[in-house]
Amino acid sequence: MKKNNYRPRIADSLLREALRASGAVYIQGPKWCGKTWTALQQANSVLMMQDPDQTANYMAMAEAKPSLLLDGAVPRLLDEWQMAPVLWDAVRFAGDRRGAQGQFILTGSTKPLDGDVMHTGTGRIARMRMRTMSLFESGDPTGQVSLASLFSGAEPEGIAGLDVEHLAFVTARGGWPAAVGADEGVGLQQARNYLDAIVETDVSEVDGMSRNPARVRALMRSIARNVAGPASVATLCSDIAGDDESLSPNTVRSYLKALERLFVIEDQPAWMPALRSRTVLRATAKRHFVDPSIAVAALRTSPAGLLKDFNTFGFLFESLCVRDLRIYAQKIGGDVCHYRDETGLEADAVVALHDGRWGAFEVKMGQARIDEAAANLLRLKDRIDERKMNPPSFLAVMTGNGYAVRRKDGVCVVPLPCLKD
């Protein structure tokens, strides 16, 4: 079932490596992000739990003898396995008995509820996160500067291949595989359809709790208005009240938890480095949609609308940068955090590698505030206690256009369209 027109993904190499190291790999991520097609490129047999012609039969077999569903050439793909949670423990047990790597690939668009599985699978089932496609994967930018090369000290060189109009379009279209390469109208409709599916069906089905679609939509709009910021539950409640809706704090928490289980929203944690001074660090996470196109759909705007509201466009551009950095950082063993302290000094994104190296980004869509952003990054560097941790591998201002260069003060300027893994 390999797809002939499949666009290569960064996840391809991650999955190959994970299969070599583990008996099973669990690919997690939002629906429609391409998990199944990526898994099918390496699977040699497949079980589609959502096949309407077979679902009832599969569920009966899972209840009676789940091991029967595991028979097939390996790696065997179990797509949407969480429909029959017993498959998790069956895979774990089969992996122990076989004692071989690369036996199973599991995909799922929701996190299982606590108690749905008996064992965590730690050490036996590797977990791999998938997101929508980055700009480099979707073929929109030039991809002349790799994140890995920045950590190696290479000189960034390149020119952004997108103008601001196209940047607005890719922000609104998103990185949904079905939208990439489609004509403009079809591409923009994908995120709207995704939002409708989440609001009308998925957010209630994820845990069996009925939720009011109008209220879910109001919350999604509020998250969109506060995207790339540390919006508290109280802030969201107050913001929603402006839409003539009313949600209690407990209801908002319940809705947020459901959206997290669906991989619709993803927090960007605070980075907590060792500082020279006693400056207090802010530990609140920033909240993002897994793809900024969801925010565009929730706000009922468009590429043309973004071009008329550069304040909103700026926050969504930051979210676009964080999405791509997460995808690229995953390839080199890193996490994407943010920095903010009590003085107001901040860095929009800090890529922290598991070996202790780190690099910081300030995001400025245009060229006018590059000097200001570079000065902030240098202030951050001066606050780090380099006796206790590594100095930065790089400091960079990420823009929407222009040239990739290293400034005289050592700070890099890297347009997002130039970046790749």
SS (H, E, C) 149-205: HHHCCCCCCEECCCCHHHHHHHHHHCCCCCCCCCCHHHHHHHHHHHHHHHHHHHHHH
Whole-structure pTM over 0.75, yes or no? yes
Our CA dihedral for 133, 137, 141, 147, rounded to 10 degrees, sits at: 90
Other beta carbons within 10 Å of 186: 12
Domains of the chain in sequence order: 10-129 (3.40.50.300), 135-420 (no CATH)
pLDDT tens per residue, the chain (421 residues)? 566 689 999 999 999 999 999 999 999 999 999 999 999 999 999 999 999 999 999 999 999 999 999 999 999 999 999 999 999 999 999 999 999 999 999 998 888 765 555 555 556 899 999 999 999 999 887 789 999 999 999 999 999 988 999 999 999 999 999 999 899 999 999 999 999 999 999 999 888 889 999 999 999 999 999 999 988 899 999 888 876 678 899 999 999 999 999 999 999 999 999 999 889 999 999 999 999 999 999 999 999 999 999 999 999 999 999 999 999 999 999 999 999 999 999 999 999 999 999 999 999 999 999 999 999 999 999 999 999 999 999 999 999 999 999 999 999 999 999 999 9
pLDDT score for 202: 94
CA distance 84 to 105: 15
Other beta carbons within 10 Å of 345: 14
Half-sphere exposure of 105 (CA within 13 A, CB side): 32
How do 334-340 and 346-353 pair as beta strands?
antiparallel
Other beta carbons within 10 Å of 194: 26
Q: Could you tell me the end-to-end alpha-carbon distance of the chain, in angstroms, rounded to an integer?
A: 28
pLDDT score for 62: 94
CA distance 167 to 399: 11
φ/ψ of residue 111, rounded to 5: -80, 135
pLDDT score for 120: 56
